[in-house]
Chains A and B, each alone.
Chain A
Amino acid sequence: MGLEFETGRLADAVNWARKFSLFQYPFVTACCGMEYMALWGPRYDVARFGAEFPRFSPRQADMLMVVGTVTERQGPVLKRIYEQICEPKWVVSFGVCASSGGFYQNYATMPGIDHIIPVDVYIPGCPPRPEAIIDALVMLQEKIQSGRGWSQRQYFVEQERRRLGLDQEGGRQ
Chain B
Amino acid sequence: MSAKALERLEQRFAECVLETHDFRGDETAVVDRAAIVDVASWLRDEPDLAFNMLTDMTAVDWLLEGREPRFEVVYQLYSVEQRHRLRIKVQVPEEDPVVDTLTRLYGIADWLEREIWDMYGIRFKGHPNLKRILLYEEFVGHPLRKDYPKEKRQPLVRRPENEIADVLARRGKARPLPQPPPRSAR
Contacts and interface: CB of A to CB of B under 8 A. Distances in A.
Interface of A: 72-73, 75-76, 79, 105-108, 110-111, 114-118, 142, 146, 148, 150-151, 154-155, 158-159, 161-162, 167-168, 173
Contact of B153 (A107, A158, A159, A162): A107
A159 B151 CA distance: 28
A158 to B, nearest CB: 4
Interface string B46-76: 0000000000000000000000000000000
Contacts of A151: 178
Contacts of B176: 168
B155 A161 contact: no
Nearest to A162: B160
A70 to B, nearest CB: 11
B181 A148 contact: yes
Given A107-B154, A168-B161, 9 more contacts: A73-B136, A111-B153, A142-B186, A148-B185, A150-B180, A155-B159, A158-B161, A161-B160, A168-B165
Interface in B136-174: 136, 143, 148, 150-165, 167-168
Nearest to B182: A148
A83 B150 CA distance: 32
B181 A116 contact: no
Contacts of B135: 73, 107-108
Most buried by B among A76, A158, A168: A168
Contacts of A106: 143, 150
Contacts of B165: 168
Most buried by B among A106, A117, A150: A106
B155 A150 contact: no
A76 B161 contact: no
A107 B136 contact: no
A107 B152 contact: yes
Interface residues of B, number: 29
28 contacts: A72-B136, A72-B153, A72-B154, A72-B155, A72-B156, A75-B156, A105-B151, A107-B135, A107-B143, A107-B154, A108-B134, A108-B143, A115-B155, A115-B158, A115-B159, A117-B159, A150-B180, A154-B161, A154-B178, A158-B159, A158-B161, A158-B164, A159-B160, A162-B163, A162-B164, A167-B168, A168-B165, A173-B164
Contact of A75 (B157, B162, B164, B185): B157
Nearest to A148: B181
Contact of A116 (B150, B158, B180, B185): B158
Contacts of B154: 72, 107
A30 B51 CA distance: 36
Most buried by B among A117, A142, A154, A155: A154
Interface string B92-119: 0000000000000000000000000000
Most buried by A among B152, B160, B178, B181: B160
